A and B are shown apart, each in its own frame.
Chain A
Amino acid sequence: MAEPAIKRSDESNKIVDEGIDKGIARLTPKKIEQVINKVLAAETGARLKTYVGTCVHCGLCSEACHYYLSHDNDPKFSPAGKVKQTIWEILKKKGKVDQKFIRDASRIAYTECNLCRRCAMYCPFGIDIAYLISIVRRLCHMLGVTPLYQQDTAHSHSATLNQMWVKEDEWTDSLFWQEEEAQDEIPDLRIPVEKEGAEIFYSVIAPEPKFRAQLIYQAAVIMNVAGVDFTMPATPGWDNSDLCMFTGDYEVMGRLKKAHFETAMRLKVKRIVMGECGHAFRSVYDVGNRWLAWKMPPIPVTHAVEFYYELLKEGRIKIAEKYDKPVTFQDPCNIVRGRGLHDKARYVVDALCEEFIEMHPNREHNYCCCAGGGVINAGPPYKMKRIEGNKIKAEQLFAAKTRGAKVVIAPCHNCHGGLEDIIHHFGLDMELHFLGDIIYKIMEKPV
């Protein structure tokens, strides 16, 4: 295979999204102005003002953004370029913008920025562009102009406290089902449900019981083999994911985090361990908890990467035979820029795999997967746009491949979803796994 092929569809701006289009149809310039000014007055302050007043329009953030790099350096996709098209204009016009403007702002904020915060490391002033785009999303939410699929997810969150309309019985039943499946392999395996006083509450995102139940299975095997005293709840609050954080529905975001942490408190666990998901970590670690006035998570949250690190370091799981295919590693924004887990992740990868090939750039500087920040949740209408918006990731993966990498490890659901599409679309022909997949495969298990 040569260089990744560039297939650009200029159709991306003509994408039909009923959520946005119908939302726009309900608006009037007067309503727009009213809502914008009300929200800005009530919810923004020194940060917005200082960031906008400090930006010297130098363009240095541009090369941080995978959208910009993937769109042949089109300035409209640069971080500051997106800010210019949205919040600058809103502030300049004091909210007197029309429906078309809001339509574009919604498209930019929800589908052309993953809030990955890489640009904060390229702006000399450390201007938090993800925060500025989040304000635009908040405004769009308050105006009712959100991508349909994302909004539906937000509705699911509000009605069921999980992301995928999973009903209370379905959740518990899927745990029983995975327990039973896994008992075929390890007869005394148990997924303890509602075990008060366990050491750990293992929390996951709703796509796991819904589509990727094998991840629960694998986690159960790892937990059981390592002798971890864990439990999973039988009540809402089991899901740690949070698309409301990304649509801008902070009130429901808070409700979700409250349910999650209060479930941990009710179960009297010492900490929460969560599966390989990035955005959920962001929401429990430094976004959702803050909205509720918890300065730090009231019950500590350990991400799977760090948890695997502990298990391997303490020798609680042993590797029967190292994974022999050469691997590369995708550093997810929310646990690397968001939690500095890159070194622990490398410890885990080195402990599991024969050969590890770095992607470049890596660690805090890794390129975003282009799926996070709610973008993949904007659904099928934006799929091609999302894939084409990350040509640079294909190039980065391809470079790792030419140096021998056959497998990509992505310890985050969004990264996983994003990379899966990129690998497929650009014909990269690489395998894609979670860390848990590999641990499960190569760990020593009781016979």
Chain B
Amino acid sequence: MHDIYNFVSGPLVWVSFIIFFGGSLYRLISMAVLAKKKDVIVYEYMSLKYGLRSILHWITPFGTVKWRKNPILTIVTFTFHICLIFIPIFLSAHIILWKESWDISWWYISDTTADVLAVVVIASCVFFLIRRIVLPEVKYLTSVSDYIILAIVAAPFITGFWTYHQWPGFKIMGIIHILSGEIMLAAIPCTRLIHMVFFPFTRGYMGSEFGAVRHAKDW
């Protein structure tokens, strides 16, 4: 157990962070280089002002017609994405690990808060799963990989929750929790989870074309 723990909480963390940062950076740079070579117009029409204008509308809950038309989805999507990023960064247990390893720390949330938010994330994942299965227009687009990606995202929260509450097998679950977190980080640059990294660019470009060239709104 010690060996496994030390492995997943040591070298594998490094590996996952390297893949996450290195991979994301690679995806970004290769996109930029390819665009310079083949899609030069992206650079020509990209506008900071109009790109940000569009991005701001889209990252504001109910800031677009689309968000307003689908209130439940909007609430779930926003809380899900916020929690997804918020919990791992501000969870005290994670910060203690940062403190132990690097002697750095920051503000954290109480475990009870984290517990509630984790339930929100898990519930959101269930919501997305049900959407995928039940809504025909989503089901039609869904492939196995979409379920796998959803599982990758849900896993750290389910296993974290499990471990925290010390349900049966929680020690193994703790290991799985760490592992699943690492898998998720590493999966970001390698799967459609890259949407997190690409969002500012795709939205920003569309916002630029709509705003700076076509003088119209894209929200």
Contacts and interface: CB of A to CB of B under 8 A. Distances in A.
Interface of A: 43-47, 49-51, 53-60, 62-63, 68, 73-76, 78, 80-81, 84, 120-122, 124-128, 286, 290, 295, 336-340, 342, 361, 364-365
The 5 closest A-B pairs by CB, nearest first: A45-B38, A126-B206, A340-B215, A75-B140, A46-B35
B66 A56 contact: no
B163 interface: no
Contacts of B206: 120, 126-128
A47 B198 CA distance: 11
In terms of DSSP, what is the predominant structure of the interface of chain B? helix
Given A45-B38, A54-B192, A78-B141, 17 more contacts: A43-B38, A45-B34, A45-B37, A46-B38, A51-B202, A54-B194, A58-B138, A60-B73, A68-B137, A81-B140, A120-B210, A122-B65, A125-B195, A125-B199, A125-B202, A337-B216, A364-B216
Interface in B30-74: 31-32, 34-35, 37-39, 41-42, 44, 54, 58, 64-66, 69-70, 73
16 contacts: A44-B38, A47-B35, A54-B195, A56-B146, A57-B143, A81-B140, A84-B141, A121-B210, A121-B219, A124-B58, A124-B199, A125-B195, A337-B216, A340-B215, A340-B217, A365-B65
A62 B203 contact: no
Contacts of A84: 140-141
Given A73-B137, A126-B207, A50 B198 contact: yes
B168 interface: no
Contact of A126 (B38, B44, B54): B54
A396 to B, nearest CB: 15
Nearest to B41: A290
A59 B138 contact: yes
Contacts of A68: 137
Interface residues of B, number: 51
A295 B54 CA distance: 22
Nearest to B77: A124
B42 A47 contact: yes
A46 B141 contact: no
A54 B143 contact: no
A340 B219 CA distance: 13
Given A46-B31, A121-B66, A365-B65, A75 B141 contact: yes
A338 B214 contact: yes
Contacts of B209: 128, 286
Contacts of B169: none
B6 interface: no
A326 B128 CA distance: 46
B165 to A, nearest CB: 30
B201 interface: yes
B34 A54 contact: no
B214 A337 contact: yes
Nearest to A74: B136
A126 B64 CA distance: 12
Interface string B176-219: 00000000000000001011001101111111011001111111
Given A44-B38, A59-B137, A126-B207, A121 B194 contact: no
Which of the listed residues B65, B213, B214 has the most CB atoms from chain A within 10 Å of its own CB? B214
B139 interface: yes
Nearest to A126: B206
A298 to B, nearest CB: 15
Given A121-B65, A364-B217, A73 B136 contact: yes
Given A62-B137, A76-B140, A125-B202, A50 B31 contact: yes
